[in-house]
Amino acid sequence: MPDKLVIIGLDCVTPQLYYGPWLDEMPHTKRLIEGGIRSNLVSTIPPITVPAWTSMMTSQDPGMLGLYGFRNRTSYEYEALAVSNANQVRAKTVWNHLSRNRLKSIILGVPQTYPPKPLNGVLVSSFLTPDKTVTYTHPPELADTLDAVADGDYIIDVKDFRTNEKDRLLEQIYIMTERRFKVFRHLLGTIEWDFAMMVEMGPDRIHHGFWRFCDPSHRLFEPDSPYVDVLRKYYLYMDKEIGRTLDVLPSDASVIIVSDHGAKGTKGGICINEFLIQEGLLTLKSYPNEITRLSADMIDWKKTSVWGEGGYYARIFLNVRGREPEGVIPPDQYDTFRGELRAKLEALVDENGENIGTKAYYPEDIYNECKNIPPDLIAYLGDLNWRSAGTVGHRTIRIFENDTGPDDANHAQEGVFVWYNRGKEPKQPVDNVSIYDVAPSILDFYGIDIPEAMIGKVI
């Protein structure tokens, strides 16, 4: 029988905290680090939960997957955006390859696994599951046991994590995390398996909800807040859950702790569509009297060259003649226009007139190929220190609160990667691991040939 491998995925766990001043208070994590490999993990561009976990498990970049974020264009119509799900994933995941080699997997909460697809093993889909009235497990009857195993309601994801109800949010994050780990340990102890993987969303939710209370450099830091120690306490709690999980594993099991990206405090938001209006590139039929989500029917398309989407990064779409329904940019001017727009974005300044360090990418420059419909530009506003606000009505291009609800943190390019017992002895140090290296390394661990479509290398 092959050795067993367990992956504990911690969405958004960030190296400056996980490897930082609290490490001596996290004995289980410290033991894994000292007995194995520790590295920062370089995420996808952009470093977003979807498609980052899918890129990790397929070793294909977002362009190869044709998945550029939570929502993707399905056509060149102006509002043809659809939420990503497992049906859009065409590439084979690690567990697909293991199933073909008659190896059994436990998959719990890995993003972009809803709706569930058959595999040799069991699967519980992720936070993108609409609710528990749908089929969200494989086999379907597994869902009937989850609430009992969790000693309560098995929480797929906390509701409304962008909220000022901080006590409620904190309580729900802890309950969700506790019950996810309980279910994982139950599956490990009751189901035959060769490979097991879980992903917990709690770290992401707690970073977005509480970062400003714990980071003295944050614009909204409150030194006397009762939440000032929330992140530290939660990281120590995660370590305890990891320890309880290690206790139920075979002594020779190999263990990976990994996050899909990191986190950092936000300095503010750049209102991307307000900026485009200011530049004369986006024209509204009438300017709203209050802050409003931009919709296609608000735009005078015959006078509009470009529009953008909000989020942790900015996606920019050009209104090209012959491509979009009312396109205005001549195709032979596309490259020139896009280059000029990139220069404008990279010249963005803060409230003091200082350049914020924006980097705008052409998808064809950063991906091996560009399937489906990529954005025309992908912009990291201020190196992800500023988020993209897609709403209009602000009458300014800079804001200092998130436009879709309280959110203190943005995503950062680097997550964490710890592998204990990979080669049966410590292999420190290791340079930065790419997110694309994880899948081929798992297949190599099991002695499975690595497909040519995988772009990562074996760790």
Tell me which residue has tokens 């200011």: 278
Please list the pLDDT of the chain residue by residue as tens digits (459 residues). 568 999 999 999 999 999 999 999 999 999 999 999 999 999 999 999 999 999 999 999 999 999 999 999 999 999 999 999 999 999 999 999 999 999 999 999 999 999 999 999 999 999 999 999 999 999 999 999 999 999 989 999 998 899 999 999 999 999 999 999 999 999 999 999 999 999 999 999 999 999 999 999 988 888 899 999 999 999 999 999 999 999 999 988 999 999 999 999 999 999 999 999 999 999 999 999 999 999 999 999 999 999 999 999 999 999 999 999 999 999 999 999 999 999 999 999 999 999 999 999 999 999 999 999 999 999 999 999 999 999 999 999 999 988 888 898 999 999 999 999 865 665 666 788 999 999 999 999 999 999 999 999 999
Beta-ladder partners of 271: 389
**Do the Cβ atoms of 246 and 237 come closer than 8 Å?**
no
* Residue 174: exposure state from Cβ atoms within 10 A (0-12, 13-18, ≥19): middle
pLDDT for the residue numbered 51: 96
pLDDT for the residue numbered 206: 97
- pTM score of the predicted model: 0.96
Neighbours of 203 (CB within 10 A): 25
**Do the Cβ atoms of 110 and 9 come closer than 8 Å?**
yes
Q: Quick one: fold of 5-266+411-445?
A: Alkaline Phosphatase, subunit A (3.40.720)
pLDDT for the residue numbered 45: 98
Domain boundaries, given as residue ranges, for the chain: 5-266+411-445, 268-406
